[in-house]
Structure 1
Amino acid sequence: MAKAKKTIGLVAVIGLIILVAVVVKLVVFPERAELPVEAGMGSDPELPKPNKTLMPTVNVAPATGWPEGQQPSAAEGLRVTQFSSGLEHPRWLYKLPNGDILVAESNAPAKAGGSTSAKDWVADKIKSTAGAGVPSADRITLLRDVDNDGVADERSKFVEDLHSPFGMTLVDGTLYVANADALWSFPYTPGALVIDDAGEKVTDLPAGINHHWTKNVVASPDGSKLYIAVGSNSNVGERGMDVEQGRAAIWELDIASGDKRLYATGLRNPVGMDWNPETGELWAVVNERDEIGSDLVPDYATSVQDGGFYGWPYSYFGQHVDQRVKPQKPELVERAIVPDYALGAHTASLGMSFADESQLPNQWRQGLFIGQHGSWNRRPKSGYKVVYVPFENGQPTGKPVDVLTGFLSDDEDAYGRPVGVIFDATGSLLVADDVGNAIWRVTAEGGQ
């Protein structure tokens, strides 16, 4: 009996030691990056060994919004002002031919029955803290600068009763809107403040679970096809690949026939898309995988090849195999394309716009603008800024340059989080801020 008590006591002591060790490791000395975030940027990023920890790294910037009188900081030679405020979680932007700006006020669809697992519950709490837990307004709002002073002075609810809308594009008088579950079309009259038409469903899009819910859409330069970006339903396929059918991909849809096909696959979460003005290639910005350390894996911007496979979930940046994925598919890994340009680990790079419409100073006119929403799982934090990637001869060169910063407070609260980026009719850069509930406008210093 005494021996049994001693054994039980010894087990309890060992258990307590293990518990203390775990607490010390996770709380006192948590996982953190060994490389600066810049090491994971550029055409040849550093990719250290994976660091799969007992618990995923969580380092959320609580969303507070902008204090009165504060705003982001613009790079030297640039000026930032507020184009519009008081919006509801503005995510994506689109410019109509007459200069009106459309804003997708949107968020993830509500989950029926709430979180379905402990991991989902934690994820929902993280999103709420980071400012992504608000209900979706489910509408597109139109903003008009009537007197051309750089401030929107007219606002209307352009299209309502949508389902977590995101991407928008106009082709031959038809406005296409990518909801979380389907692509819709609406007739557009130039100069209209409201679309009253109920719209027509063009095609269903992969839906359900919605680990990544955003669906973006852009038109081909000749207006004959649409390209639709759809994110994965998991981090690295842990829910099984059956729920990934048609996901982690960019679809091509022929407008005349309605036929669609997978254009490129293995793209974990493609969001922003635009056409390279020099090469004519489709480019996309993609969010890479989590939970193998603060230094991995960099998000990226890349040209998108017809029929190309970009690795997810089996590998990243070409043939870097993700050992967590079972079963492996070496035949796919072998042909995985290396992305063109890394944007840093966990930066949550979402918005993307080439500078062909830019009227900013000359050094900002040949490259790519990226809206980095900011990390929730890197220590120290990354992103929370708008950056510019210089291009030469149609290809990225050098490191990204900061355009807008100051979205984090000294205490690392989030005043704002940049998402969509486009150019307005004057060639000024507009930036959607879904925590600050504002649209920021960047011009040349001294410009209007």
Structure 2
Amino acid sequence: MSRLSMTPKYAHLLPALGLLAACSSGPSKEEKQQAQADNPAQTITTPKDENVHLPAPYESKSVTKRVDVIDWPAGKTPTAPAGFTVTEFAGGLQSPRWAYVAPNGDVFVSEAATLPKGLKKDIAAALRLDKSRSLQPTSANRITLFRDTNGDGKPDMRSVFLTGLDQPFGMLVMGNSFYVANTNGVLKYPYQPGQTKMTAAGQKILNLPEGGYNNHWTRNLLASKDGKKIFVTVGSGSNVMEHGPENEKRRANILEINPDGSGEKVFASGLRNPIGLAYYPGTTTLWAAVNERDELGDELVPDYITSVKEGGFYGWPYSYYGQNEDPRRKNERPDLVKAALVPDVPMGPHVAALGLTFYDKKAFPAKYQNGAFVGEHGSWNRSQYSGYQVAFVPFQDGKPAGKPEPFLTGFLVGGDSNKAHGRPVGVVTMPDGALLVTDDAGNKVWRVSAAQSAGGAGKTSR
């Protein structure tokens, strides 16, 4: 007997729940065969000379396989390579999704969760049926401030900085202004470096389409190199525009605005769910971490990180990984398919690449310097779990110099288990050279340091 059926309050909703589950249907056998004929398996070369094998659509069955998140055991941490130390930077949080390091070294963490929409998800959230902890009945909707005043790698001050928000995610300090990206818009607050609590009212400088497909409610922020513009990420409202183009207005884009919210324009488009934004060190080259689409099979479509060209179009929803037409949008926009750019670095299918930071410090060994760390939240649309780690991509002279490799692992219990202790999201580089990783399912923030660096006392993972 299901947990739901044993709950009288929701017993009358069981028929509706069953009907909703039965309403979903995939492509027919004939449609799959035609899609495979139109898009046979192939190997393509990325702009950075990385060969990517792409199977035909529907070569494997689309499945749903979610993890069962259990709490981290006392004293257990994720695992980093030998020579690194992993410690708990902060715990007792509520779905810490993103971290931002202010110019003065203060660490801001936004706490927000995916909320239910629709009857089926309302029930699932109320009964906590989503064991992956992606869906929550409530959202903390706050930003918490952490400060390490003595440089030992552990925050000795913790303060609730800002509350009453609407699914906050990205944060930004520009001059005497503090910006927050809610799911439905960007807020601007007066700010003085060092303040521990926001007391002034914020001004909404930009309205945004709220929510989105699955976790696509997140909105990230990054200042342009010259400090004159702000980039705003907005994910898609659907998997592959199945709700129509009206639902996708201003979505699947990186927007550009002035610091007062005016002058909005689309900087780059066709990015299904761009999250992490970062400049390659010492350049004006913008990079993004992007989630690709679901339900084409185990190996489609690879999530990626890519350099972002102003005015560039990256395929969604009409094509994937360049000019591979999505069979669900066949013959709709051949002009856009032809214009679609190939991303730079495939991170793997369904890994949910979210966080992105370039390591611009010297504390880590030379191998890691100027390379990219990518937070992979983990798959749900794959028969074998993928992601659930922080991956590292080596760079040399501004270009990827190797394939992604595991860096911070141990979030999955491993073996044949369907359980996980946490799910990494944001990654940021600290002024002292340590790396911070937000773990929304584990309700923690982890700190990774080179074992010999300051504040490195703790557990060395092997």
1:209/1:424 Cα in 2 relative to 1: closer, same or farther (>3 Å)? closer
User: What are the equivalent positions in structure 2 for 1:127-276 lying under 5 Å apart?
Assistant: 128-134=130-136, 135-208=138-211, 211=214, 212-255=216-259, 258-276=262-280
Map of 2:409 onto structure 1? 405
Map of 1:47 onto structure 2? 54
TM-score between the two structures when normalised by the length of structure 2? 0.83
**Aligned equivalents of 1:64, 1:53: Cα separation in 2:** 30
- Does structure 2 conserve the Cα–Cα contact (< 8 Å) formed by 1:419 and 1:431? yes
**Displacement after TM superposition at 1:363 (Å):** 1.3
Give the one of 296, 311, 314 matched to 1:307: 311
| Residues 1:424 and 2:430 are matched in the alignment | yes
Q: Give the aligned residue type for 2:391.
A: V
Q: Which is greater in Rg?
A: 1
SS in 2 for 1:356: coil
SS in 2 for 1:129: coil
**Displacement after TM superposition at 1:290 (Å):** 0.4
| Structure 1 residues not aligned, in runs of 5+ | 1-34
**Aligned equivalents of 2:398, 2:74: Cα separation in 1:** 41
Count of matched residue positions in the alignment of Structure 1 and Structure 2: 407
Q: Which stretch shifts more, 204-213 or 379-388?
A: 204-213
TM-score between the two structures when normalised by the length of structure 1? 0.86
**Aligned equivalents of 2:213, 2:381: Cα separation in 1:** 19
Q: Which stretch shifts more, 148-157 or 226-235?
A: 148-157
Identity fraction in percent = 46
**Displacement after TM superposition at 1:393 (Å):** 1.4
- Does structure 2 conserve the Cα–Cα contact (< 8 Å) formed by 1:43 and 1:397? no
Q: Give the aligned residue type for 1:236.
A: V
SS in 1 for 2:422: coil
Give the one of 363, 366, 374 matched to 2:367: 363
**Displacement after TM superposition at 1:263 (Å):** 0.8
**Displacement after TM superposition at 1:400 (Å):** 1.3
- The alignment's C-alpha RMSD in Å is 2.5
- Does structure 2 conserve the Cα–Cα contact (< 8 Å) formed by 1:42 and 1:397? no
Map of 2:444 onto structure 1? 438
1:388/1:124 Cα in 2 relative to 1: closer, same or farther (>3 Å)? farther
User: What are the equivalent positions in structure 2 for 1:274-353 lying under 5 Å apart?
Assistant: 274-325=278-329, 328-353=332-357
**Aligned equivalents of 1:328, 1:291: Cα separation in 2:** 19
1:89-147 superposed Cα distances (whole Å, 9 cap, x missing partner): 00100011221100001113453xx34xx699889999922111222100000011232
- Does structure 2 conserve the Cα–Cα contact (< 8 Å) formed by 1:91 and 1:434? yes
**Displacement after TM superposition at 1:446 (Å):** 3.4
**Aligned equivalents of 1:203, 1:373: Cα separation in 2:** 28
| Structure 2 residues not aligned, in runs of 5+ | 1-40, 457-462
**Displacement after TM superposition at 1:45 (Å):** 1.5
- Does structure 1 conserve the Cα–Cα contact (< 8 Å) formed by 2:206 and 2:261? no
**Displacement after TM superposition at 1:347 (Å):** 0.3
**Aligned equivalents of 2:207, 2:380: Cα separation in 1:** 31
Q: Give the aligned residue type for 1:153.
A: D
1:406-445 superposed Cα distances (whole Å, 9 cap, x missing partner): 0011323110100000012211000001111111111112
